[in-house]
Amino acid sequence: MTPLLALLLGAALIGLVSAVATGPALSAQRGFAYSAGARDNPQPLTGIPARIQRASANFNETFAFFAVAALVAHLTGRETPLAIWGGWIYVVARLVYWPLYVAGVPVIRSLVWLAAVAGIVMVGFAAAFG
């Protein structure tokens, strides 16, 4: 497995853990009967469960862009150091972002999000221009 594909797999695992964490948070606030049911008429989540759900949604908003850039870089043979560094930046930033978001840390969380986006741009640039 190439370094960029390993980073892509790592990012996917971060997304999976984030998504799985949403379930217990939802059940803790709305109750197991709601979680196990049809989920009709949901009440908005608040506090930490709401932040867990939003952190997971935020990951999903960026992951597709990273995945496309990483796969294009890999398939075109452009897994350059720029692409690999960009992949590392994305994965580490996404790993750091989740607990910052759940804890409600402002500003630093946004800077970490920007770092993740910069990582995507680096991988995309390498994919497009080698």
The domain limits of the chain are 3-129
So what's the pLDDT on residue 23?
A: 87
Q: pTM of this prediction?
A: 0.93
Per the CB < 8 A criterion, the answer to whether 83 and 123 are in contact is yes
Q: Are the C-beta atoms of residues 119 and 90 closer than 8 Å to each other?
A: yes
One-letter amino acid for residue 72 of the chain: V
CATH 1.20.120.550 fits 3-129, yes or no: yes
The tens-digit pLDDT sequence of the chain (130 residues) is: 999 999 999 999 999 999 999 889 888 888 888 878 887 888 888 999 999 999 999 999 999 999 999 999 999 999 999 999 999 999 999 999 999 999 999 999 999 999 999 999 999 999 999 8
Return the structure tokens found at 31: 């109750």
What contacts 103, CB < 8 A, 6 or more positions away? 51
* Tokens encoding 25: 């948070």
